[in-house]
């Protein structure tokens, strides 16, 4: 079993978040280093790159149609975050290895989609843009962080206003969208009967029109982002303007609350980087929200990922920096290239341990009741932002005892200074102690 399954992590009867007391229980798994991010609200700090990115994306969507919501609380119910979106009870996203629970019925939202149902029900406009901080137990590397920001967008059309079928109205709105000439790879059909199906309540014409409007709207955001990033790179003398364009592609995806669904990826630092997920809204959402005749699209984009491209920010941890050498490089409304203050040396340390032999297999790829995210959180809890990357480098099962051993490689590197050997050895020792205490493993 997992340590946080057995006992109340905080061991306090309640936690205070946003000036409110929440009772804790056996589901509580919210560590202080995550709770302390709640007051930061980077998307609301005007000269922070996350807020500049938010405003740039908002500027591509007319405010009369897309009402912005930027101040919704991150503390939501399990119902809002999962049930209202049609997540099945056994969905891995619901587990304590993936989600921060305040208690059994309350979580820190894992995505801005947690507000879709309520916003559809409020019916304040044909569309919306919701920007917010979101929280997830996840991998540690330069593009993943346990707290990040998303913007949710949606656009709905009403069959009642359009003679029972919205396809023509959506195509008419599509024609009004700006055109672009960027090459975007899109090898799959809009609808695929097995991989990416049409929903029963929709006609293929409706889904095709909604998909076209959705993709064009998002492609226009990418065109704007790349255009601004390129201008800034030329101004900084980093580029001449005749470089190969970045590769961008649409791929098929799956979400419980959209179908068909897609993700948009760009080629960045030698690998595909996912910017957003989107799709045609599952009809159960507007139906349950009391607006059954409305249909349309929704997307959720990672603001850090977009900001990294826009400003040339190489590591997601930088967004949380209090260092004026980071913060003072940005100002409201300005897109400029980030100038690294200096590159400090990485330090790689391996840690190997035997998993508990008694525990049974579970998710997370590794098995034996052990989830990689538990390791990630132990490291983050000890080393905070002094850790750049944690990678599973070896797995091995003892041929005689059947016990399983894993080895993780931790890359310690500060963004702000050179770490000393003593400091790193202390961190590594503390990580070892934390995994023994919290995960019940045996160091090798
Ligand atoms: C979602 O969160 C869906 N709610 C998106 C969605 C909305 C789909 C509406 C359909 C309709 P996903 O888990 O893929 O999807 O996350 C969306 C984006 O958030 C990713 O593409 C990525 O840009 C960003 N993201 C995800 N995890 C992290 C992380 N740990 N650190 C930084 N950014 C992340
Ligand atoms: Mg995704």
Q: What's the 278 CA to ligand 2 centre distance in angstroms?
A: 9
For 127, the token pair is 């569309």
Reduced to 3 states (helix: H, G, I; strand: E, B; else coil), residue 370 is: strand
Q: What is the CB neighbour count within 10 angstroms for residue 354?
A: 17
Q: What's the 334 CA to ligand 1 centre distance in angstroms?
A: 25
Q: What's the 256 CA to ligand 1 centre distance in angstroms?
A: 13
pTM: 0.91
| Best mutation site among 100, 111, 264, 390 for ligand 1 pocket (most ligand atoms within 8 Å of CB) | 111
Q: What's the 63 CA to ligand 1 centre distance in angstroms?
A: 23
Ligand nearest to the CA of residue 110, numbered in listed order = 1
- Radius of gyration of the chain measured on its C-alpha atoms: 23
For the Cβ of 114 lying below 6 angstroms from any atom of ligand 1, the answer is no
Q: Looking at the domain assignment, is residue 84 inside a domain?
A: no
Q: Are 410 and 428 in contact (CB under 8 A)?
A: yes
Same-domain check for residues 131 and 235: yes
For the Cβ of 278 lying below 6 angstroms from any atom of ligand 1, the answer is yes
Q: What is the CB neighbour count within 10 angstroms for residue 146?
A: 21
Residue 361 has pLDDT above 60, yes or no: no
Average pLDDT over residues 145-156: 97
Task: For residues 80 and 118, give the distance between their C-alpha atoms in angstroms, rounded to a whole number.
Answer: 8
Q: Which of 271, 299, 327 is the last residue of a domain?
A: 327
Same-domain check for residues 280 and 358: no
For the Cβ of 144 lying below 6 angstroms from any atom of ligand 1, the answer is yes
Q: Looking at the domain assignment, is residue 98 inside a domain?
A: no
Ligand nearest to the CA of residue 218, numbered in listed order = 1
Residue 148 has pLDDT above 90, yes or no: yes
Task: For residues 129 and 124, give the distance between their C-alpha atoms in angstroms, rounded to a whole number.
Answer: 12
pLDDT band at residue 366 using 50, 70 and 90 as cut-offs: low
For the Cβ of 136 lying below 6 angstroms from any atom of ligand 1, the answer is yes
For the Cβ of 110 lying below 6 angstroms from any atom of ligand 1, the answer is no
For the Cβ of 150 lying below 6 angstroms from any atom of ligand 1, the answer is yes
Burial status of residue 294 (CB atoms within 10 A of its CB: 0-12, 13-18, 19 or more): buried
CA-nearest residue for atom 27, ligand 1, is 144
Q: Tell me what pLDDT residue 368 has.
A: 58
Q: Per the structure, how many domains does the chain have?
A: 2
Q: Looking at the domain assignment, is residue 144 inside a domain?
A: yes
pLDDT band at residue 10 using 50, 70 and 90 as cut-offs: low
Selection from 293, 43, 75, 314 nearest residue 152 by Cα: 43
CA-nearest residue for atom 17, ligand 1, is 276
Same-domain check for residues 315 and 207: yes
Same-domain check for residues 263 and 292: yes
Same-domain check for residues 161 and 287: yes
Ligand nearest to the CA of residue 144, numbered in listed order = 1
Q: Contacts from 229-236 at CB under 8 Å and sequence distance 24+?
A: 229/309, 229/310, 229/311, 229/312, 229/335, 231/335, 232/310, 232/311, 232/312, 232/335, 232/336, 232/337, 233/312, 233/337, 235/336, 235/337, 236/336, 236/337, 236/339
For the Cβ of 145 lying below 6 angstroms from any atom of ligand 1, the answer is yes
Same-domain check for residues 284 and 385: no
Same-domain check for residues 355 and 295: no
Residue 381 has pLDDT above 90, yes or no: yes
Query: Which residues, 6+ apart, have CB-to-CB distance to 317 below 8 Å?
Result: 142, 145, 385, 388, 415
Q: Tell me what pLDDT residue 12 has.
A: 80
Beta strand 75-77 pairing with 20-23? unpaired
Residue 200 has pLDDT above 90, yes or no: yes
Strand-by-strand arrangement of the 101-103 sheet: 75-77, 106-108, 101-103
Same-domain check for residues 188 and 284: yes
Buried/exposed code over 103-123 (b: 16+ C-beta within 10 A; e: otherwise): beebbbbbbbbbbbbebbeee
Average pLDDT over residues 44-55: 98
- Ligand 1 atom at minimum distance from 263 CA: 21
Averaged confidence pLDDT in the chain:
93
Query: Which residues, 6+ apart, have CB-to-CB distance to 334 below 8 Å?
Result: 52
Q: Which of 274, 299, 327 is the last residue of a domain?
A: 327
Residue 421 has pLDDT above 80, yes or no: yes
Show the CA angle centred on residue 311, arms to residues 305 and 313, nearest 5°. 65
Task: For residues 342 and 182, give the distance between their C-alpha atoms in angstroms, rounded to a whole number.
Answer: 34
For the Cβ of 300 lying below 6 angstroms from any atom of ligand 1, the answer is yes
Q: What's the 274 CA to ligand 2 centre distance in angstroms?
A: 7
Q: Looking at the domain assignment, is residue 88 inside a domain?
A: no
- Mean pLDDT is lowest, of 22-31, 328-337, 351-360, for 351-360
Same-domain check for residues 221 and 254: yes
CA-nearest residue for atom 23, ligand 1, is 302
Question: Residue 65: which CATH number?
Answer: 3.30.930.10
Q: Which of 278, 293, 327 is the last residue of a domain?
A: 327
pLDDT band at residue 1 using 50, 70 and 90 as cut-offs: very low
Q: Looking at the domain assignment, is residue 148 inside a domain?
A: yes
Q: Are 122 and 100 in contact (CB under 8 A)?
A: no
- Mean pLDDT is lowest, of 3-17, 116-130, 132-146, for 3-17
For the Cβ of 274 lying below 6 angstroms from any atom of ligand 1, the answer is yes
Same-domain check for residues 305 and 356: no
Q: Looking at the domain assignment, is residue 149 inside a domain?
A: yes
Q: Tell me what pLDDT residue 367 has.
A: 58
For the Cβ of 319 lying below 6 angstroms from any atom of ligand 1, the answer is no
Residue pLDDT, tens place only, 233-272: 999 999 888 888 789 999 999 999 999 999 999 998 889 9
Same-domain check for residues 67 and 186: yes
Question: Residue 352: which CATH number?
Answer: 3.30.70.380
User: 172: domain range?
Assistant: 31-74+109-327
Q: What's the 230 CA to ligand 2 centre distance in angstroms?
A: 26
Residue pLDDT, tens place only, 282-340: 999 999 999 999 999 999 999 999 999 999 999 999 999 999 999 999 999 999 999 99
Q: Looking at the domain assignment, is residue 90 inside a domain?
A: no
Q: Tell me what pLDDT residue 123 has.
A: 93
Reduced to 3 states (helix: H, G, I; strand: E, B; else coil), residue 53 is: helix
For the Cβ of 255 lying below 6 angstroms from any atom of ligand 1, the answer is yes
User: Which tops the pLDDT comparison, 343 or 156?
Assistant: 156
Same-domain check for residues 248 and 367: no
pLDDT band at residue 362 using 50, 70 and 90 as cut-offs: very low
Q: Tell me what pLDDT residue 358 has.
A: 56
Q: What are the residues facing 75 on neighbouring strands?
A: 108
Q: Tell me what pLDDT residue 246 has.
A: 85
Q: Looking at the domain assignment, is residue 362 inside a domain?
A: yes
- Ligand 1 atom at minimum distance from 276 CA: 21
């Amino acid at each position: 079993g997992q340590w946080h399954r057995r006992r109340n992590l905080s061991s306090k009867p309640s936690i205070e978040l946003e000036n409110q007391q929440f009772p804790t229980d056996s589901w509580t798994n919210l560590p202080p280093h995550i709770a302390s991010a709640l007051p930061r609200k980077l998307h609301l700090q005007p000269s922070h790159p996350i807020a500049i990115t938010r405003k740039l994306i908002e500027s591509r969507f007319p405010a009369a149609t897309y009402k912005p919501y930027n101040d919704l609380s991150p503390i939501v119910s399990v119902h809002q975050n999962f049930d209202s979106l049609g997540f099945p009870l056994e969905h891995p996203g619901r587990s304590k290895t993936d989600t921060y629970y305040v208690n059994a019925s309350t979580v820190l939202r894992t995505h801005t989609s947690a507000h879709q149902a309520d916003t559809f029900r409020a019916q304040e406009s044909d569309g919306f843009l919701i920007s917010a901080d979101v929280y997830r137990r996840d991998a540690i590397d330069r593009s993943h962080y346990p707290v990040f920001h998303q913007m949710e967008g949606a656009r709905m059309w009403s069959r009642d206003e359009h003679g029972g079928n919205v396809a023509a109205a959506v195509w008419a709105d599509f024609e009004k969208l700006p055109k672009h000439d960027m090459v975007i790879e899109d090898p799959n059909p809009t609808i695929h009967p097995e991989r990416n199906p049409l929903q029963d309540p929709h006609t293929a014409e409706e889904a095709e029109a909604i998909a076209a409007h959705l993709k064009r709207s998002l492609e226009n955001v990418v065109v704007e982002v790349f255009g601004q990033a390129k201008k800034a790179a030329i101004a900084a003398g980093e580029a001449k303007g005749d470089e190969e364009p970045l590769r961008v592609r649409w791929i098929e995806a799956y979400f419980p609350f959209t179908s068909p669904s897609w993700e948009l990826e760009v080629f960045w630092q030698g690998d595909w980087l996912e910017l957003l997920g989107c799709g045609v809204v599952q009809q159960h959402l507007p139906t349950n929200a009391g607006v059954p005749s409305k249909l349309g699209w929704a997307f959720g984009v990672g603001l850090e990922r977009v900001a990294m491209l826009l400003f040339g920010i190489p590591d997601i941890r930088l967004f949380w920096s209090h260092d004026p050498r980071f913060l003072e490089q940005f100002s409201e409304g300005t897109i400029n290239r980030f100038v690294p203050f200096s590159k400090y040396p990485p330090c790689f340390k391996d840690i190997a341990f035997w998993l508990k032999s008694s525990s049974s297999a579970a998710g997370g790829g590794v098995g034996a009741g052990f989830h990689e995210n538990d390791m990630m959180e132990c490291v983050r809890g000890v080393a905070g932002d002094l850790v750049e990357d944690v990678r599973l480098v070896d797995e091995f099962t003892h041929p005689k005892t059947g016990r399983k051993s894993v080895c993780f490689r931790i890359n310690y590197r500060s963004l702000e200074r050179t770490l000393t050997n003593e400091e790193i050895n202390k961190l590594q020792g503390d990580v070892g102690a934390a995994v023994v205490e919290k995960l019940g493993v045996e160091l090798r």
